[in-house]
Structures are given as structure tokens and as C-alpha cells.
Amino acid sequence: MENVIINFFKENKLKLNNKSVVVATSTGVDSMVLLNLFLKLKKQYVLNVICAHVNHLKRTQSMEEEKYIVSFCEKNNIKYYIKRLNDIDDDENFQSEARNERYLFFDEIIKIENAEYLALAHHANDNMETIMMRILRGSNLLGYSGINPIIKRNNYLVIRPLLEILKETIVNYADKEEITYFEDETNYEDYYTRNKIRHEVIPPIFAIKDDANIKFKEFANNIKGAWKLVEEKVDEYVNNYVSINNDIEFSKKSFLANDVFLQIEILFAVLKKYNLSKEAIKEIISLINSNKANIKSFIGNSFTFYKEYNNIIIKEGLIEPTNIHLVIDCVNKHYYCDNISVFCQSIECKNVLKSNEICYNINMLPVTLRSRKPGDKIKLTAGEKKVKDLLIDEKIGISKREKILILEDKNQKILAVIGLKKSFYLKEIKDCNIVLKINTGE
């Protein structure tokens, strides 16, 4: 079995000599075999082998497992790190949150030890289960190829040297070498989708085809080959049509010019960090195709989706409108609220001002700068108009509409929609002797 590790490094052109390897060890048979294999190669390849154990504190034997791994490492002169997951709620997000915590833990160890590799003990049966799960749940094209044997993460590589080895082979090796390991009883509870596939789907497949794992590997390789072709098309679109800065932006027209299959792959690519399901991706495409000109939608707890006429915008986080309310009641003073600022300056006003500057009379103070409300109306030269209709006429997108500010007088008459229109009332004011300079932070 040691040759499995050696050949993995050779086939993938990875260096093994004088390297530091962090082995994620749960005390299950797979990870205990992997740890023992690296131990056997330690002297020959001058390896620095480090054990990383995460105690999820969810099973009665968790503490016993932790105690064993500490004893094993001390006996074999292996440096080890232990993390207990005390602060994660046992809810539907537990698996995802636990995974994030594990990788943060691994990142920390890699940095401390200056290690090149994080070794995980996934095997061929795990890969078959993953492919089946993704077929059932939906995925992007590359996801259907299953688990990657090598992934670059930050400044190190995540490696899975046992990925082509069957579980049965690993168990037989553990028994032959008398390797102590613990059984996780939850692996036998079929209310987890993966466990159902493991116990009810995979065995009949092997009964039909005893080298089914090889066929799954061929399937995965075919998918990876197809992905290389698709990836070129995805990259071409992203490089030419997608703006990725603080926000992600692209046009509806350019996006819908692609085949639906490619639309899915494009969204998976640009939204990769959010780890969305295929259903979520399809929902976003449905929003893009909608006949509504302006749409705002929260996608999970991750980001806010905007459709503004022909523009598609993705903003990090769940964006809620800010409620602005500033009373300006004296001159030569700055007023602040959130990222909004107003300077009321005493100055004779004769020239045409900028759209965010209002000429007014000191005796007519106070005025109020506030957020837009339903039913707001402004008096224009041609008559009274709803602010909502004004925004539609000017094709103001929904993200900007939420930031629109209204200036009203002490009688609650609207004096201006800042940056857009000034009221007819302002033209009737004589003896303008102050200027309101409004900075909206845009």
C-alpha cells in the first residue's frame, strides 16, 4: 500500500522528499490507514508528518477517539493538533459550518508548520457516492466528475492519495497491519442521503459490474475532458462581458445570447464562492428572463440580485435600504447621516447650480432630507408627478431607487428629488441667500 502513496506523487509530478504533510485524521479506518502509510514513508523520504484531528463533539465516543489519537501521536513521535467544535449549532447548516471550521483549522496548521500538503483520506467508494449525489441533486458540469485528487488551496495542495483505492482494500489492509480505528455509527444511519447511496445504491452497482469504480473513473475523466472545452467558452464570456469588482455586473442581452447550458456554467463560474445549488442557479436565470424591468431578490443569505432593465448586478450581502432623515435648520453647518452629508452655506445664489445643489432662503428653514416614501409627488413645470413615475421615465434602476433622496420644506412639500429633478416651488423663491450642497456618497 505504501506504493499507492509513492505512485500518486510520481503520477502527479509532486515532490515527496523533505516535505511537510498535514494528515486530516478522524480515527476512522480510511484516515488511520493514510496516517500509517505516511508514517511508513517518513524515514525513507525525510517527511514531517503532522496529524490534525477535529472533534465534532456529536457522538458519545468522540472524546475516546480524541484520547486515542493523542496517545497514538505521542507514541509515534508525531506532532498533532486538536480542535473541538464547541460553538456550532446542531441544525441543517451543521455540516457546512463544520466543514468551514475544519478548513480554517487546517489552514492555520499549514501556516504554522509551513507545510506543502494537506492529505485527506477519500477513496474510490467516496468518489462514486459523490458522483451519484451530484447527479441526484444537480451540479455544474465539472461537479459531475466527482472529487478532485488534487486541489490548490491558498499556498498549499489538498491531496487525496487513496482516491482510486476501494474501501474494501483499505479495510483489509488495516486488518492485516493490525491498525486500530474507530467506527462512526452515524455511517450506518440511512437518514443521510450519502449513507443511503452507500448502503442501498452502490452495492447493487458492484453486483452488476465488479469493476464499477473503474467505470465511474472513466465517466469522471470524460466529464473533465468535456469541461475543458466548455471552460474555454465560459472564460471567453466572462473575460469579455462580465465586470467583477466590488459587484458582479453583466448585461441581460449578452447573457441570454448564450445557450441555456452555457448560461448555467457561466453563473456557476462567476458565483463560485457562494457554493450555490443548481436550483439556485436556475432561479437566477428565471429572474433574468422575467418580463419585469426591475427586480431585487435575496439569494440565500449570500448576496442580493438586481435586474435593472438590461443590467444584471450581484452585490455582496443582503442589501437593505438605508432610512435617511436629516433636518437642516441653520447655516454654515455640516449635517451627516450614514454616508450622506449636507453643507448649508450662507451665500448669494445667482448662477445655475449642480443637480445636487439647492438654492434656498434662510428664513424658510428648516428643510428635511429623507428617503423616498410611497406616494411621494413633486410639482414640475408641466404639473404634479409621482416620484415613482419619474424614476420609471428616467429608467432609474432599483438599486439606485433605494438610494433616492427627497428634500422637503417645513410644510412637507417636495423641493427636489436629489440629483434628478428640482421642484417648480424652488423657482418661486426670491432672495435666495443659502445653498444646500448635498453629497450622496455616489
Instruction: For residue range 305-342, list pLDDT tens digits in order.
Output: 999 999 999 999 999 988 999 999 999 999 998 889 99
**The pLDDT value given to residue 344:** 92
Check whether 87 has a pLDDT greater than 80: no
Name residue 336's beta-bridge partners: 341
Query: 316, 348, 381 — which closes off a domain?
Result: 316
Domain identity same for 432 and 331: yes
**C-beta separation of 261 from 234 below 8 A:** no
**C-beta separation of 402 from 432 below 8 A:** no
Residue 82 lies in a domain: yes
Cβ neighbours of residue 411 closer than 8 Å, sequence gap 6 or more: none
Average pLDDT on 283-304 reads 95
**The pLDDT value given to residue 130:** 96
Check whether 99 has a pLDDT greater than 90: no
Domain identity same for 256 and 195: no
Check whether 15 has a pLDDT greater than 80: yes
- Per-residue pLDDT band for 188 (boundaries 50, 70, 90) equals low
Residue 146 lies in a domain: yes
Domain identity same for 306 and 329: no
Q: How many domains does the chain have?
A: 3
Query: 259, 290, 316 — which closes off a domain?
Result: 316
- Per-residue pLDDT band for 132 (boundaries 50, 70, 90) equals very high
Query: 271, 292, 316 — which closes off a domain?
Result: 316
Which pTM does this prediction carry?
A: 0.82
**The pLDDT value given to residue 93:** 66
Average pLDDT on 84-110 reads 83
- Residue 4: closest CA among 45, 32, 41: 41
**The pLDDT value given to residue 237:** 98
Per-residue pLDDT tens digits for 341-388: 999 988 876 665 788 889 999 999 999 999 999 999 999 988 999 999
- The radius of gyration of the chain's CA atoms, rounded to the nearest angstrom, is 31
Domain identity same for 192 and 117: yes
**The pLDDT value given to residue 29:** 97
Domain identity same for 90 and 154: yes
Check whether 58 has a pLDDT greater than 90: no
Q: How confident is the prediction for the chain on average, in pLDDT? A: 93
Domain identity same for 97 and 165: yes
**The pLDDT value given to residue 59:** 80
- Per-residue pLDDT band for 98 (boundaries 50, 70, 90) equals confident
- Per-residue pLDDT band for 186 (boundaries 50, 70, 90) equals low
- Residue 146: closest CA among 217, 206, 229, 197: 217
Burial 143-169 (b: 16+ CB within 10 A, else e): bbbbbbbeeeeeebbbbbbbbbbbbeb
Domain identity same for 262 and 305: yes
Residue 121 lies in a domain: yes
Domain identity same for 284 and 330: no
**The pLDDT value given to residue 427:** 87
Domain identity same for 297 and 329: no
Q: Which three cell numbers stand for residue 332?
A: 454654515
Q: Which three cell numbers stand for residue 48?
A: 514531517
Residue 229 lies in a domain: no
Average pLDDT on 138-163 reads 96
Average pLDDT on 223-240 reads 97
Residue 223 lies in a domain: no
Residue 54 lies in a domain: yes
Domain identity same for 183 and 270: no
Domain identity same for 333 and 419: yes
Check whether 160 has a pLDDT greater than 90: yes
Residue 419 lies in a domain: yes
Domain residue limits at 370: 325-439
**The pLDDT value given to residue 65:** 95
